[in-house]
Chain A
Amino acid sequence: MMINFHPSQKMLTAFSAGELPLSLSIAVSAHIELCDQCAQQAQRVEQSLSQEAWQDNTLENADFGDMLQAIMATSHETLQATKIVAKATTKIAGREYQLPTAFKKFTDIKWSGFGAISRARVINDEKNIRASLLHITKGGCIPEHKHKGYELTLLLDGSFSDAAGTYQKGDFIWLDGEQSHSPFTKEGCLCYAVQDAPLHFMSGVSKVLNPLGNLIY
C-alpha cells in the first residue's frame, strides 16, 4: 500500500527543529514511523539543522563555572542501544488498535460516542488547538464541513474518501480553512485529527450540529 500524502518540507523541517506544537509533532512523528521515505528525509533535515546550529560566528564567552567537572563526576550509563518496541494500544468498537510510538504516554485514552463517530481527546492544553483520535464505523460519514483554521488528518487504520480521493493508512492530509469536505468511510477508519478552530457544518439538517461542533472537534 502506498502512502500518497506527506507533510510538507516546511513542516518536516519545523518538526525536526522541535518547533511544532506537540499536537502536530505527534502527527509528523507517527507519519514518519509509517513512511520510510519521510523518515529518511527527516534524517537529512536533522543533518542540515545540526550544521546550521553549530555554525556560529558570533559566539560570546561565557562562564560555565564547574559545570564540566560536575557532569564528569556523575556516573556513565552502560546502555546497549535497542529500540523499545512496546507501543500504545487503544480499544474501540470491539477492536484493539496499535498506535505509533508517539502515543505511548497516552495510556488512558477515553472514548465517547457520537453516532457513527467516536472521539477521544488526546491533547487539550495547547492554545486554540485540539487533537483527538477519531473512529468512524463502517459506512459512516461526517457531514460536509469546513474549518476556520486548519485540519490535519493522519489515517492510522482503514481508509476513507472525500471528493478529492481515497486515503490509506499513513496518509497525512492537510486542509486549510478555505477547503470543505465530507469524508466517508466504507470499511471504517481510525484517524488522528488536529484542528485549530471548530468545525462549521454547511448543509441542511447538519447545521444544527454547529452549536455542537465542539463534540467532534
Chain B
Amino acid sequence: MIELIKKSTDNILNTHKIILLDEEQQQINDWLTLVASKQDKQAFSQLFKFFAPRIRSHGLKKFRQEAQAMELVQETMMLVWRKATQFNVDKGKASTWIYTIMRNYSFDMLRKVQSNKEDLMSDDLWPMLDVEEDEKEEDHLQSRHLLAFIKTLPDLQKQVVEGIYIEDKTQQELADELSVPIGTIKSRLRLAMVKLRDMMEEE
C-alpha cells in the first residue's frame, strides 16, 4: 500500500542541495512582509514573478493539465495576497508559508478531481492556517449572527457569499474577477448556503 506515496517525495531529507540561496529567502521574506504591512503592489508583483511560474510547473506535474495548473497559480497567489497578514516571520520562512498554501489548495483540488468532493478539508488537516477575523469591524447590517456565520465559512465560499450578498456583485462578475468558471461560483455558493442554513437551524 505504501505504493501510494509518490517517488518524488522520497529521501528528500537526505539531499543536501542548497536550493534557495539565503539572500533569496531573505528577499522573499521582505517582499511578503511589505505585502502584509502595506499591501505593497510592487513587492507582490515580485513575489508573483518568482512564484507564479514555479507554482504552474508544480501544478503541471501534479494535474497534467494546463487549466488546472493555472487555477493553482491563481488561487495560491490570491490567497497569498489576501492572507499575507497571517504570515509570521518568526514562525518560519515566507517561501515555506507560500508552499503550504499551495499544498493545501492542491489537496482540495485533487480531492475534487478524484472523489468529486468539494469539502475543502485542507483547513482542518493543517489547521495553523485557520484564523478568526478581528472584532474591529462595525456591524453595518445589524445581523451580527449571520455575519459571524459567514465568517466561519471556508475562504473560497466566504469570498463568494461576501461578493454576492455584501458587495452586490453578480455571479458572472465574480467568476470573471476570480478567473474561474461560473459553475464554480455556483457550486461554492450552493455549498455555502447549505452550511449557513445548517448553522441557522442549530441556532
- Chain A contact residues, CB within 8 Å of chain B: 9-11, 13-14, 16-22, 25-26, 29, 33, 43-56, 58-62, 64, 67-68, 70-84, 101-105, 107, 125-126, 149-150, 176, 196
Contact = CB atoms under 8 A, between A and B. Distances in A.
B100 to A, nearest CB: 6
Contacts of B102: 53
Contact of A14 (B9, B126, B198): B9
Given A10-B5, A18-B106, A22-B121, A46 B85 contact: no
A77 B36 CA distance: 10
Given A18-B107, A21-B4, A77 B93 contact: no
A58 B93 CA distance: 24
B52 to A, nearest CB: 6
- Between A13, A78, A81, the greatest number of chain B beta carbons within 10 A of the residue's beta carbon is seen for A81
A22 B5 contact: no
Given A47-B93, A78-B134, A83 B85 contact: no
Q: How would you classify the secondary structure of chain B's contact residues: helix, strand, loop or mixed?
A: helix
B82 to A, nearest CB: 5
A11 B5 contact: yes
Given A47-B93, A72-B41, A78-B134, A10 B10 contact: yes
Contact of B125 (A53, A67, A102): A102
B179 A73 contact: no
Interface string B36-78: 0001010011001001111011100000000000100110011
A71 B178 CA distance: 8
B120 to A, nearest CB: 8
B140 interface: no
Given A51-B19, A59-B57, A67-B179, A80 B132 contact: yes
Contacts of B22: none
Contact of B103 (A11, A18, A56, A79): A18
A52 B12 contact: yes
Given A26-B125, A59-B54, A59-B57, A76 B39 contact: yes
A147 B43 CA distance: 54
Nearest to A20: B4
A19 B52 contact: no
